[in-house]
Amino acid sequence: MEPVTTWRKTLLVLNCILLTGGNCGGPLILRLYFIRGGKRVWLSSWIQTAGFPITLIPLFVSYMHRRRSAAHGHATATTKLFVMKPWVLAASTIMGILTGLVDYSYSYGIARIPVSTSSLIVATQLAFTAGFAYLLVKQKFTAYSINAVVLLTVGAAVLALHTSGDRPEGESNKDYALGFVFTLAGTALAGFIIPFLELTYLKAKQVVTYTLVMEIQMVMAFFATAFCTVGMIINKDFQAISREAKQYELGETKYYLVLVGTAISLQGLFLGIGGVVFYGSSLLSGIIITVSLPITELLAVIFFHEKFQAQKGVSLFLSLWGIVSYFFGELKQSKKNVCHDEEELEMARAVDP
């Protein structure tokens, strides 16, 4: 791993911004596709990672930088186009296929349930991420982080007790329930993938740089897109795109803008997750995702006029309480670590003045 530097902290902040922006905007644009006449679940799944070629731009910049460093005699510089080793490639491929399943699950859910509801379901991802982080990377927990996980899980459970209260007009109870189940299943699987990504960094058996992080993200997105491409071919989605565009309520041009906007927004989310896991941890990634969910929920109520019943209010309150609990614990632990470091420094000075 790279040493902790100001540059590393800056990149962590930038990736947090990417993650937050993508997690707020992506679901809203994707929901807009469905409520204005879009019906293709595989297409909406495919578009979630189809923006992966964007990653080639920073990778090319990194490659040119490595070539210049090698030309100036930098001992550790490599001129390889890709630095990823076979084991990491295999792990990235597996995560990519699993990501394709997550994409389909989310699309299926967003097509059938309001964004304000799906956002609260996704809040349970923190509990799944925390559990798998404990099993896979031995994540340490404090009373505050445990309290946060419990509150967020209970908040989602409160929502689950009233799943039919905000069923969209014309949606059957069966389809609504399936949307709820698929969203929860995708959330659980995503909660596994993020700690597995952190485990891949730890077990890479090579120096893990941000270049490698981007390569992993690109390979994951490529295989997720390939997985969804197979679904599109079987479902004949490619042939239906032009026809659906002409029938779209907002017009043909805006149809394609919605698809492109979804791809760009969710690619930012995808890259943000990889960067936050690398510079922070899988648990921090889960926390950032959860922090942005109340924003997504409120925006859905404002722009899509979705219902905001009492149980959503309770669930939102518990989610915010859990988030505050986590960050209060992190702040307290950070201050404790600073005090401990200062004490060790004073002791060292006393021994060797």
- 1, part of any domain: no
pLDDT over threshold 80, residue 344: no
- 262, part of any domain: yes
- 26, part of any domain: yes
One-character DSSP codes across 261-289 = HHHHHHHHHHHHHHHHHHHT-HHHHHHHH
Residue 138: per-residue pLDDT: 81
Give the residue numbers spanning the domain of 203.
6-351
Residue 134: per-residue pLDDT: 84
Nearest alpha-carbon partner for 10 in 280, 292, 328: 280
Sign of CA dihedral 255, 261, 264, 266: negative
Residue 342 pLDDT class (50, 70, 90 cuts): low
Residue 170: per-residue pLDDT: 66
Residue 3: per-residue pLDDT: 47
> What pTM did the predictor assign?
0.81
pLDDT over threshold 50, residue 327: yes
Residue 20 pLDDT class (50, 70, 90 cuts): confident
- 107, part of any domain: yes
Put residue 248 in one of left, alpha, beta given phi > 0 → left and psi -120 to 50 → alpha: beta
pLDDT over threshold 90, residue 253: yes
Residue 83: per-residue pLDDT: 77
Alpha-carbon distance 206 to 170, whole Å?
54
pLDDT over threshold 70, residue 21: yes
Mean pLDDT for 267-282 is 84
Residue 282: per-residue pLDDT: 81
Alpha-carbon distance 11 to 7, whole Å?
6
pLDDT over threshold 90, residue 295: no
pLDDT over threshold 50, residue 269: yes
Mean pLDDT for 102-123 is 85
Quote the number of domains for the chain: 1
Nearest alpha-carbon partner for 56 in 223, 263, 217, 261: 217
Mean pLDDT for 297-324 is 74
Lowest mean pLDDT among 59-73, 126-140, 149-163: 149-163
Nearest alpha-carbon partner for 32 in 251, 331, 268, 270: 251
Residue 88: per-residue pLDDT: 92
Better-scored residue on pLDDT, 270 or 233: 233
3-state secondary structure of 206: coil
Model pLDDT for residues 199-219, shown as the tens digit of each residue = 998 888 888 888 888 899 999
Mean pLDDT for 314-320 is 75
Residue 1: per-residue pLDDT: 46
Nearest alpha-carbon partner for 80 in 207, 197, 226: 207
Model pLDDT for residues 139-182, shown as the tens digit of each residue = 777 787 778 778 776 776 666 665 555 666 667 788 888 888 89
Residue 259: per-residue pLDDT: 93
Alpha-carbon distance 326 to 313, whole Å?
20
- 162, part of any domain: yes
Residue 105: per-residue pLDDT: 95
- 167, part of any domain: yes
Residue 5: per-residue pLDDT: 60
**Dihedral of the alpha carbons of 15, 220, 223, 237, in degrees to the nearest 10:** -20
Alpha-carbon distance 184 to 121, whole Å?
6
Residue 258: per-residue pLDDT: 93
51 contact partners, CB below 8 Å, separation of at least 6: 221, 263, 264, 266, 267
Mean pLDDT for 108-124 is 81
Q: What percent of the chain has pLDDT over 70?
A: 82
Lowest mean pLDDT among 43-52, 126-135, 191-200: 126-135
Written as one letter, the residue type at 158 is V
pLDDT over threshold 90, residue 229: yes
Nearest alpha-carbon partner for 67 in 211, 213, 207: 211
73 contact partners, CB below 8 Å, separation of at least 6: none
- Give the pair of three-digit tokens for residue 109: 């859910």
**Cα 279 to the chain's mean position, in Å?**
15
- 10, part of any domain: yes
Residue 339: per-residue pLDDT: 57
